[in-house]
């Protein structure tokens, strides 16, 4: 089985990167073949260009070789894992741009004979979202937790409703001590080993 990990944090020394390393260790321990895409390190561009927007509804909606590489990796993935910090109540801009530039027609969705939209990534069986919040659970719930909704709901329109989703949040990140952070990393790795 193959897993693709998408990391969206510009700081290579961040807790997000520590989480991604433990995700990888857990998945590899469970026998997965793992590909990691560090969006910021790869220079993934968040904004769709005017040319990409024009091509979006054509026969060749992907113009960027880096986007094509990500799509090729998705085509064989059984599990998708997203690791990011929650900023301004949602995913970082680079991850939002990833969704917009990668989940194009023919990839994230297809049209059937009646021109109805159908999922394009039905081979994906698991979606995993792992994020940190500076705020409490109560505050995050009050602002609708847009990142969670994107991964657990909107993305399932691309994979199909039978796809299992797992959410691993860490609240009040800014006030947690080292032992609490370490316990979260252990929890993440154990969860990935149990997939």
Q: Where are the domains of the chain?
A: 2-193
- pLDDT bucket at 162, cuts 50 / 70 / 90: very high
> 37: buried, middle or exposed (CB in 10 Å: 19+, 13-18, 0-12)?
buried
pLDDT tens sequence across 99-136: 999 999 999 999 888 888 899 999 999 999 999 999 99
Q: Are 26 and 83 in contact (CB under 8 A)?
A: no
pLDDT tens sequence across 3-45: 999 999 999 999 999 999 999 999 999 999 999 999 999 999 9
Q: Does domain 2-193 have CATH number 3.10.150.10?
A: no
Residue 61 CA to residue 102 CA, distance in Å, equals 9
Q: How confident is the model at residue 113, as a pLDDT?
A: 87
């Amino acid at each position: 089985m193959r897993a693709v990990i998408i990391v969206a944090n510009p700081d290579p020394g961040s807790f997000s990167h520590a989480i991604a390393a433990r995700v990888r260790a857990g998945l590899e321990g469970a026998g997965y073949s793992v590909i990691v895409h560090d969006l910021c390190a790869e220079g993934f561009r968040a904004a769709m260009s005017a040319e990409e927007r024009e091509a979006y509804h054509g026969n060749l909606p992907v113009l960027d070789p880096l986007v094509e590489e990500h799509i090729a990796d998705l085509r064989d993935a059984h599990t998708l894992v997203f690791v990011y910090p929650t900023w301004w109540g949602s995913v970082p801009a680079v991850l939002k741009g990833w969704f917009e530039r990668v989940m194009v027609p023919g990839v994230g969705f297809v049209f059937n004979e009646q021109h109805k939209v159908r999922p394009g990534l039905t081979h994906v069986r698991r979606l995993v979202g792992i994020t940190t919040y500076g705020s409490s659970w109560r505050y995050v719930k009050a602002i609708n937790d847009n990142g969670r909704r994107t991964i657990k709901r909107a993305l399932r329109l691309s994979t199909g409703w039978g796809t299992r989703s797992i959410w691993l949040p860490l609240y009040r990140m800014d006030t947690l001590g080292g032992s609490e952070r370490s316990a979260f990393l252990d929890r993440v790795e154990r969860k990935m080993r149990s997939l």
